[in-house]
Structure 1
Amino acid sequence: MEDYQAITLMFREIKNSLSSSLTQVLPAFEISPIMMYALEFLRKHTDAKAVDIANEFGLTRGAITQLLDKLEEQGLVARKPHPTSRRSLQIDVTDKGHQLSASILETYNEKIELLLANYSKEELALLRELLDKLPLHSHRV
C-alpha cells in the first residue's frame, strides 16, 4: 500500500511538471493552454462538434463559443455547417492550426526529453515497457 501512495505522489508530481512545461512553452506561440487542448482534441476527433468540446473540458456553451471565436480569429480552425447535424457546426483544424500544434508539441517534447536525459537506453526501454502496461486511452506513437 505504501508503494502505491509513493507512486501516485510521483505521478502527480510528473503531471504538475509536464503541465508547467506546457505552460512555459505556450506564450511564445501566443496561445493559451485551453486553446491548445481544444486544438489537439479537434485534431484527434475530426468529426467533433462544439458540444463535444464542451463535454470533454466541462465548459459552458458560452465559453466554447468564445474559445472557438479565438481559435477562428487566429486562423487555427474553421467553422462550417455540419454534414449530418443541421443544428451543429463542423469545426475543422486549418493547415495553420496543424502547423502550430506540431511546432508547439515539438518544443514541448524537447522540454520533456530534458527530464529523461540522465537515463540510459536500458532504463528508458524499461520505463517504456512499464508505462505501456498502463491502461491509457490515448494512441501510442
Structure 2
Amino acid sequence: MSKQEDTPSHQKNSGSRHLGRLIMQLRRLELQPHSFGKAGPLTPSEIHTVEAIGFEGGVRMSELARRLGITKGAVTQLVARLEAKELVKRSPHPHDARVVLLSLTEKGKEANAAHEEVHLRFYDELRRQLSEREIEIFEKCVETLNDFLRR
C-alpha cells in the first residue's frame, strides 16, 4: 500500500486547502508593488525581470524570455516599463547588429541589491522558525512544486 493510500482523506484535503490558500496569497502579492531602493514601486514581475538580467548584464531579449519563462513580446513590454523607470538600458551587441543586449543601470543594480536583501531577510526569518531539516524539506517541496507547475 502506498503512503497516499494510507493517508486519511481529511489530511489530503487539508494539504490541498493549505496549497490553495498559498496560491491565493501569492496571487495577491503578485499584484502589489513594492519599493526597492530608489527605484520606486515595482511589481513582482518588474523586480524579477531586473533580477533575471542580473548584475553582469549583456543579456539578449530571447535569453531573458527563456529565464523568465515568458514570451518575447511580454519581455519587450516589461523592458519598456523598466527603461521608462531608468532601471534597464539597451545597447547594441558588439558583433551582431541585429542583437540588442540588456543591462541594469546603476539604479537597476541598486533595486536588484535591495531585492536580494529582502530575500535574505525572508530566509533569516525562516531559519529562526524552522530547523535545518525543516528548511531542507521546505526547499525540496518548493523545488518539487515548481517542477510540477512547469509541466
- What is the TM-score when the length of structure 1 is the normalising length? 0.63
| 1:25 Cα offset (Å) | 5.6
Structure 1 residues 81, 27: closer, same or farther in 2, change over 3 A? Answer: same
Rounded Cα–Cα distance in structure 2 between residues aligned with 1:45 and 1:13: 37
> RMSD in angstroms over aligned alpha carbons?
3.9
**Does 2:59 match 1:51?**
no
Structure 1 residues 92, 111: closer, same or farther in 2, change over 3 A? Answer: same
The structure with the largest alpha-carbon Rg is 2
Secondary structure of the structure 2 residue equivalent to 1:83:
coil
1:38 to 34, 44, 49: 49
Please, which runs of 5 or more residues in structure 1 have no aligned partner?
none
**Counterpart residue type for residue 136 of structure 2:** E
| 1:39 Cα offset (Å) | 0.9
* Length, aligned pairs only: 133
> Aligned runs of 1:11-90 on 2, under 5 Å?
11=19, 13-18=21-26, 20-21=28-29, 23-24=31-32, 26=34, 29-43=40-54, 46-55=57-66, 56-61=68-73, 63-90=74-101
- 2:54–2:112 contact (8 Å) kept in structure 1: no
| 1:42 Cα offset (Å) | 0.9
**Which residue of the partner structure matches residue 114 of structure 2?**
103
**Does 2:102 match 1:91?**
yes
- 1:25–1:108 contact (8 Å) kept in structure 2: no
Percent of aligned pairs with the same residue? 20
Rounded Cα–Cα distance in structure 2 between residues aligned with 1:17 and 1:81: 40
2:134 to 118, 127, 140: 127
Structure 1 residues 132, 33: closer, same or farther in 2, change over 3 A? Answer: closer
